[in-house]
C-alpha cells in the first residue's frame, strides 16, 4: 500500500539500502575533528538506513527488516531499562513489548516526523513508567499526545533535513563539556530528579538545573539548525 | 484558542522526557502539551535526544530464546490499522454529548472526571475553591483551583517544583499574563502574587511535588486552608 509520494520514494530506497552492507556507527571513536564529521555523516546515513527498514515494515510487513531493527535496537533498549534499575527478566519482557508495539504501530510511522530511535525511546520510557512505576494512566495520555501535530518550523519538514538533524544532534552531543554531558546522561539514564542528581554530585540544585538547561538548549538548537 | 505564551522550562522538559517527573507534574506537563504545539515539538526534540543517547549505548545481550520468541510473536500479532497519523495542521476536536466548553482536558479525566459542571468545588476562603484529585499518597499533590475574578492571592513561593496550567480565565503576576493553555513553571527562587483578571473566574490546574511556602503571617494562616 503506497499512500503518499514520500512513502513510494522511500520504498525504492529500501531496495537500495538492502544491497548496502549494514552501516552502524561504532560507539567509541577517537575525537579528532575529522572523525567527528565522519561520525556526523554516518549519523545521517544510519538514520536513513533505519528509517528505510521501518518503512519496509510499515508498507510490506517485512519481517527481515523488522528483525534487523530488533537486532540493533533491542539490546540497547535492554541496556536503557537495566540502567533504570529494572530487573533483567522484567527488562527483557518490556523490551519484547516495546518491539511488538513498534511492529503493530508501524503504519503510523512517519519518517519525516520521527526516527526509529526516538520512537523506541518514547515507547520504552512509557512502558517503564507504566509497569515499573505503576502509573497506568500514563500510556493513554502519551498515546493521545502522539497523534497531535507539532509546531513545524519553516525550515523543518523534509526527509533530507530530518537526517541532517540527526548528524547535527550527534555532533552537539560530542561537543558538550564533560560535566554537562554527564548531567544529561544521568538525567536520561537514571530517571532521577534534579534534586537527587544535585545531592549525588554534591552540587547546588540551581547549578545542576542551569547546567542542564544550557546543555539541553544546545542539543535542541542542533535539531533546529538544518544547514 | 490562541497559542499559549508561557511555556515549559527546558529543565522540566528534560525531566519529563527522562521519566523522572512525578505523577502530578507529569499530568500538568501533558495537559499543557495538549494545548501547546510549540512544547510538543520541543518534547519531540527531547525524545530525539533520549533516543540518540540510548542508541549510542553499549548493547546489553538478550537471551537467545528472546529472538525466537519475537519471531514467533510476529505471526500472531494483530496490526493496528485504526489510528493513522493526524494530518499536519488539523486539531483534534472533542466530540460527544457535552459541549467542548464543559469538557476537561482528557489528561485530567482519570483524576477529576470529564466535566467542569460535575466538579465538586470546596471553598478555601471566599472566592477561592478547590477540588483535590485522588492520586496515591506520597506522590505530591494535584488539584484544581477556581479563583473569582479580580482576586489577589497571598504572596508565596514554592519549596519544590510547581506547575500551574490555566484552563479558563486568566491571571497576572510579575511574570506577565497567564491565559488558557499557559503554564507557570516555577521553582523555589520565584515569589509571586497572582491577581485574577476581571471577567470569567480563573480555573487552573496546580501540581506540586512539595509543599507551598508562604512567608507572611496572613499567608501562614492561609496555608492550612490549602491543606498541604
> Which residues in A lie closer than 8 A to residue B41 (C-beta atoms)?
150-153
Q: How many helices (H) and strands (E) does chain A have?
A: 10, 0
d(CA B78, CA A197): 42
The least confident of A81-95, B86-100, B118-132 is B86-100
pLDDT digits (tens, 9 = 90+) for A107-116: 888 877 778 9
ipTM field:
0.78
CB within 8 Å: A150 and B44: yes
According to the 3-state scheme, what is the secondary structure of A178-223?
HHHHHHHHHHHHHCCCHHHHHHHHCCCHHHHHHHHHHHHHHHHHHH
Phi, psi of B203 (to 5 degrees): -110, 125
Reduced to 3 states (helix: H, G, I; strand: E, B; else coil), residue B214 is coil
Q: Which three cell numbers stand for residue A99?
A: 518491539
Could you tell me the domains of chain B? 1-58+103-228 (2.60.120.10)
Any CB–CB contact under 8 A between B18 and chain A?
Answer: yes
Provide the percentage of residues in chain A whose pLDDT is more than 70: 67
User: For residue A74, what pLDDT is reported?
Assistant: 97
How far is the CA of B147 from the CAs of A139, B122, B142, B181, B219, in angstroms?
31, 12, 16, 16, 16
Cβ density class A40-68: b for 16+ within 10 Å, e for less = bebbbbbbbbbbbbbbbbbbeebeebbbb
Reduced to 3 states (helix: H, G, I; strand: E, B; else coil), residue B38 is helix
Taking chain B, what is the end-to-end CA distance rounded to the nearest angstrom?
33
* Length, in residues, of chain B: 228
| HSE-CB of A215 using CA atoms within 13 angstroms | 27
Does the pLDDT of residue B7 top 90, yes or no?
yes
The pTM score is: 0.79
Site from A76, A109, A196 to mutate, B interface, most B CB atoms within 10 angstroms: A76
Confidence label for A225 from pLDDT (cuts 50, 70 and 90): low
Residue bearing the bigger pLDDT, B2 or A195: A195
How far is the CA of B12 from the CAs of A216, B43, B65, B89, in angstroms?
11, 10, 39, 26
Compare CB distances from A80 to B21, B26, B57 and report the shortest one's residue: B57
CB within 8 Å: B44 and A113: yes
Residue bearing the bigger pLDDT, B181 or A132: B181
Helix ranges (DSSP H) in A61-158 = 63-83, 88-104, 116-127, 138-146
User: For residue B139, what pLDDT is reported?
Assistant: 75
Residue bearing the bigger pLDDT, B134 or A102: A102
CATH of domain A5-17+32-151: 1.10.1740.10
d(CA B24, CA B5): 22
Confidence label for A78 from pLDDT (cuts 50, 70 and 90): very high
Q: Quote the minimal CA–CA distance from A221 to chain B in Å.
A: 9
Compare CB distances from A75 to B37, B42, B59 and report the shortest one's residue: B59
How far is the CA of B198 from the CAs of A69, B4, B71, B117, B148, in angstroms?
56, 20, 62, 21, 9
pLDDT digits (tens, 9 = 90+) for B131-149: 998 777 777 889 999 999 9
Chain centre to alpha carbon of residue B82: 28
Chain centre to alpha carbon of residue B46: 17
User: For residue A160, what pLDDT is reported?
Assistant: 62
Q: How many CB atoms lie within 10 A of CB B147?
A: 22
d(CA B175, CA B167): 18
Chain centre to alpha carbon of residue A168: 14
Phi, psi of B13 (to 5 degrees): -60, -45
Residues in CB range of A12: below 8 A, 6 or more apart: none
Does the pLDDT of residue B27 top 70, yes or no?
yes
Does the pLDDT of residue B188 top 70, yes or no?
no
Name the residue in chain B with its Cα closest to that of A79.
B60
Helix ranges (DSSP H) in chain B = 10-18, 23-35, 37-56, 64-76, 109-112, 217-226
Q: How many CB atoms lie within 10 A of CB B54?
A: 23
Residue with cell 560507539: A27
pLDDT digits (tens, 9 = 90+) for B198-220: 999 999 999 987 544 445 555 55
Amino acid at each position: 500500500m503506497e499512500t503518499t509520494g514520500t512513502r513510494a520514494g522511500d520504498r525504492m530506497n529500501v531496495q537500495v539500502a538492502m544491497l548496502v552492507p549494514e552501516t552502524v556507527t561504532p560507539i567509541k571513536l577517537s575525537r579528532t575533528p575529522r572523525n567527528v564529521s565522519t561520525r556526523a555523516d554516518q549519523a545521517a546515513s544510519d538514520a536513513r538506513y533505519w528509517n528505510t527498514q521501518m518503512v519496509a515494515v510499515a508498507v510490506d510487513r517485512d519481517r527481515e527488516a523488522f528483525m534487523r531493527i530488533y537486532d540493533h535496537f533491542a539490546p540497547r533498549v535492554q541496556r536503557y531499562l537495566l540502567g533504570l534499575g529494572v530487573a533483567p527478566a522484567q527488562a527483557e519482557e518490556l523490551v519484547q513489548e516495546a518491539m511488538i508495539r513498534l511492529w503493530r504501530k508501524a503504519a503510523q510511522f512517519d519518517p519525516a516526523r520521527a526516527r526509529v530511535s526516538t520512537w523506541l525511546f518514547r515507547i520504552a520510557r512509557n512502558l517503564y513508567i507504566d509497569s515499573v512505576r505503576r502509573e497506568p494512566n500514563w500510556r493513554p495520555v502519551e498515546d493521545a499526545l502522539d497523534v497531535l501535530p507539532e509546531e513545524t518550523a519553516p525550515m523543518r519538514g523534509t526527509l533530507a533535513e530530518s537526517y541532517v538533524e540527526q548528524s547535527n544532534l550527534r555532533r552537539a552531543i560530542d561537543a558538550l563539556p564533560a560535566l554537562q554531558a554527564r548531567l544529561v546522561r544521568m538525567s536520561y539514564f537514571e530517571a532521577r530528579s534534579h534534586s537527587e542528581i544535585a545531592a549525588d554530585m554534591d552540587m547546588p540544585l540551581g547549578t545542576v538545573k542551569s547546567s542542564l538547561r544550557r546543555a539541553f538548549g544546545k542539543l535542541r538548537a542542533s535539531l533546529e539548525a538544518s544547514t | 484558542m490562541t497559542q499559549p505564551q508561557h511555556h515549559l522550562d527546558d529543565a522540566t522538559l528534560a525531566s519529563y522526557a527522562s521519566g523522572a517527573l512525578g505523577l502530578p507534574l507529569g499530568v500538568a506537563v501533558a495537559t499543557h502539551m495538549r494545548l501547546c504545539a510549540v512544547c510538543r515539538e520541543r518534547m519531540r526534540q527531547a525524545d530525539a535526544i533520549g533516543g540518540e543517547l540510548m542508541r549510542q549505548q553499549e548493547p546489553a545481550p538478550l537471551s537467545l530464546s528472546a529472538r525466537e520468541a519475537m519471531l514467533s510473536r510476529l505471526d500472531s500479532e494483530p496490526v493496528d490499522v485504526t489510528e493513522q497519523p493526524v494530518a499536519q495542521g488539523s486539531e483534534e476536536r472533542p466530540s460527544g454529548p457535552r459541549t467542548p466548553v464543559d469538557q476537561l482536558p482528557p489528561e485530567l479525566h482519570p483524576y477529576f472526571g470529564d466535566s467542569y459542571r460535575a466538579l465538586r468545588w470546596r471553598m478555601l476562603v471566599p472566592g477561592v475553591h478547590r477540588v483535590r484529585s485522588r492520586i496515591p499518597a506520597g506522590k505530591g499533590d494535584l488539584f484544581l483551583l477556581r479563583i473569582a475574578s479580580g482576586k489577589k492571592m497571598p504572596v508565596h513561593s514554592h519549596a519544590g517544583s510547581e506547575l500551574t496550567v490555566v484552563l479558563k480565565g486568566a491571571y497576572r503576576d510579575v511574570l506577565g499574563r497567564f491565559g488558557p493553555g499557559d503554564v507557570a513553571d516555577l521553582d523555589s527562587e520565584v515569589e509571586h502574587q497572582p491577581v485574577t483578571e476581571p471577567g470569567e473566574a480563573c480555573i487552573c490546574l496546580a501540581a506540586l511535588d512539595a509543599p507551598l511556602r508562604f512567608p507572611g503571617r496572613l499567608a501562614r494562616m492561609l496555608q492550612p486552608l490549602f491543606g498541604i
